Amino acid sequence: MESKRAVVYLSVCLSVLTSLCQGQRSGNSHLLSAPDEPTLGLTTSELAEALQGLLDEADSSAGLSVEKKASVIPRCDVGERCAMKHGPRIGRLCDCLRGTACNTFFLRCY
């Protein structure tokens, strides 16, 4: 009696597993078989062209902000002008190299 019950249980489990595996395999083959099928009304080549256009626009508009950042101060060599006086205030033009400092009287790195 127990052997019949075990055989029935095993056959039910195998049939359920087989049907699940068939469903997964048919779903994957459907996705892989049609790479140029339209997605949201656009083909892969149209999506690639649209993305390339967006990247080109971003490069052209961001060119100036990449060249000069407000937080980055260039380095000065020894003897170069490192500051400028604006009335009572002194504005820094560049940062002196290690071991030197900007002299506030001469406004040069020494």
Binned at pLDDT 50, 70 and 90, residue 100 comes out as: very high
Domains of the chain (ranges, CATH numbers): 75-109 (4.10.40.30)
With 0.75 as the threshold, say if the pTM is over it.
no
Contact 79, 101 (CB under 8 A): no
Q: Which residues of 57-91 are buried (b: 16+ CB within 10 A; e: fewer)?
A: eeeeeeeeeeeeeeeeeeebeeebebbeeeeeeee
Quick: pLDDT tens for 36-85: 555 566 678 888 888 788 788 776 665 545 455 667 888 999 999 999 99
Task: Give the separation between CA 12 and CA 17, rounded to whole angstroms.
Answer: 9
Mean pLDDT of the chain: 76
Task: Give the separation between CA 69 and CA 1, rounded to whole angstroms.
Answer: 83
Distance in angstroms between the alpha carbons of the first and the last residue of the chain:
101
